[in-house]
A = this chain, B = another copy of it.
Amino acid sequence: MIDATFAKSYFEKNRDAVLKSYYELVRIPTVGAQPIHLGDCARAAAWLKQFLKPLGFEVELITPSTEPPVPVVFAERKAKPRPGHSPKTVLFYGHYDVQPPDPLELWETPPFEPTLKEDGRVYARGAQDDKGQFFSFLCGLKALVESGAELPNFKLLLEGEEENGSMGLFSLLPELTPRLHADVLLVCDTAAAPNGQPAIVAGLRGVQHYTIELKGADYDLHSGAHGGIAPNPAQGIAELVASLHNPDGSIAVEGFNDCVCPPTEREIEEAKRGEITDEEYEKTTGVPPVGGERALLPVDRKCFRATIEVNGIHSGYGGEGSKTIIPSRAFAKISARLVPDQSPQHVFDAVKAHVEKHCPAGMTVEITEVHLGASGFRLPLDSPIFWIAKEELEKLDSKGPVFIWEGASIPIVSELRHRSGGAPLLVGFGSEKDKIHSPNESFSLDQFVRSMTWATLILQALAE
C-alpha cells in the first residue's frame, strides 16, 4: 500500500543515492540561453537519458533546428496492460535549463556546486527551478517503479530553453504533436501558496521579452565638451523606459491592455485564500508590494493583470569613481507578462510603436532579441482533474490545497495543453525562500520530499 509516508521512507533509505543523482544533474551549468553552454545542455540531456532508461522508459534526444540547438528529451513509459482496464496517459513537462547565475559575486557558495547547508536547503542555480522540482517528481516515480506499483502511461518532455522562450520545443511541436496525446498535462514547476498551503495552479501569465537598443554618437563623447549639445543615450534610455508607465504605475503603452479580461469575484476570493499580508510580503522580500498599478489590489495585479518589467538597463560607465562621458549606446532588457486573450503579436506591436514614437531626439532605436512568447491562461475551477488533485493533496497536507494564479509563466504550457488535449495540472512546491532567478537559489530537502510524495500519490490515483 503506497500512502503519504511511502516517499519519505524511500528517501530516508536511499538518501545518498538520491542526492548523488540530484547533485550530478544540478552541477551541469545548463544556461540554455547562452550558446556557450550548449555542450552542457547536451550533457544534461544525455545524463537524463541514462537516468530514465533503467526505469523502463524509451528515451529520445531530439535536436531542434533552431539556434542554439538545445536538445529536447522525449521519453515514454507504457503502463502494464491489465485486463478490462484502459490506462490514463500523463504528459509530464519540465525544463532542465536554468537562469544565468550572475551576479556571481553575490553567491555564497559556487552556483553550480550544490551545497547542503544546516538549514536543510540545497544551494545551487537550478536546485529548485526546475531541475529540483521535476527531478524530485521523477524520484517519486522511480520509488513507485521500484516498488512494483502500477503507473499510468507516462510521457515525459524535458526541454532546455524554458528560461529563454522555448524556441526549440516550439519549433518541434508540429512533428511531435501526434505523440503528445494525453489525458492529463502534469507540470511541477510552480510554487506552493504564499501562505505555505499546497497549491493548484488555476492560471499562468504568458511572457515575452526583448532588448531595446538606443544608439547615439559614433563613439563615447567627452561629457564636458559635448554636455548640453550631444544627445545622451543613457538619459534617453531612462526617458524611454520611464515612458512605459504612468505615474500611477499603470502601463502607458497605447493598446497594451486591449483584451485584458478582469477576474470573476470567485477567482479573486479563491486567489486571496493562499495570499499573505502586505506586511508578510515586506518581511520576506524587503519591499512593500507597491509596484504596478497602485489603484488595484496586489492579488489582482499579480494574478490577473499584464505587466511590463525592466529586467536590466545598461549604458556607459559602471566602475569605481567616475568617467565623464556621454555614452554612445544604451539598452534595456524588457519582459512583459501577458494574461489570457492578449495576443503576443498585438502586445509586441504596441510596445514597438510606443518605443519608436518616444525615441528621444537625435538617437535611433531598435528592438532586438525579440521573443514573442505566448499568452497566459486561466482554467475553469470545476475541472474533474482538480477534484482528484485536491483529494491527494489533502493526504499530503491536512490543510488541503488552495487555487493560485501564478504571476510567472511557463510559455510552452498553453501550447502543450492544446496539442496534447490533456487537462493541465500544475502543482509545484516552490517557495519565495527558494530565491529562484536570484543568487543563492535553494530547495529544501523537505520540499524535495513533498514533491516526491505528490508524485507517488497523483501517479497512483491516475493509475486506477
Contacts and interface: CB of A to CB of B under 8 A. Distances in A.
Contact of A33 (B227, B322, B363): B322
Contacts of A209: 322, 324
Contact of A326 (B242, B290, B309, B328): B309
Contacts of A229: 281, 289-292, 298, 301-302, 407
Contacts of A106: 219
A285 interface: yes
Interface stretch (A176-184, A261-269, A392-400, A436-444): A436-444
A47 to B, nearest CB: 23
A44 to B, nearest CB: 17
A374 interface: no
A435 interface: yes
Nearest to A241: B238
A10 B210 CA distance: 59
A375 interface: no
Interface stretch (A22-30, A138-146, A310-318): A310-318
A232 B251 CA distance: 14
A333 interface: yes
A407 B33 contact: no
Nearest to A316: B312
A362 interface: yes
Contacts of A287: 216-218, 230-231, 362-363
Contacts of A165: 322
B100 A323 contact: yes
Interface residues of A, number: 100
B369 A322 contact: yes
Interface of A: 33-35, 99-100, 102, 106, 163-165, 191, 205, 207, 209, 216-232, 234-235, 237-245, 281, 285-294, 298, 301-302, 305, 307, 309-328, 330-333, 335, 337, 361-363, 369, 371, 406-409, 432, 435-440
Nearest to A103: B220
- For the complex of A and B, the 3 pairs showing the least CB-CB separation, nearest first, are A224-B408, A33-B321, A312-B316
Give the copy number.
2
B228 A307 contact: yes
B289 A311 contact: no
Nearest to A305: B228
Given A226-B407, A230-B285, A314-B315, 9 more contacts: A99-B325, A100-B317, A163-B322, A217-B287, A229-B292, A310-B315, A311-B322, A312-B316, A312-B318
Given A311-B323, A313-B314, A335 B223 contact: yes
A372 to B, nearest CB: 13
A430 to B, nearest CB: 9
B238 A237 contact: yes
B408 A222 contact: yes
23 contacts: A35-B320, A99-B324, A163-B321, A164-B322, A165-B322, A216-B287, A218-B285, A219-B439, A220-B439, A223-B337, A229-B302, A232-B291, A234-B310, A235-B241, A235-B245, A238-B238, A238-B239, A239-B242, A288-B362, A310-B315, A311-B323, A311-B324, A313-B315
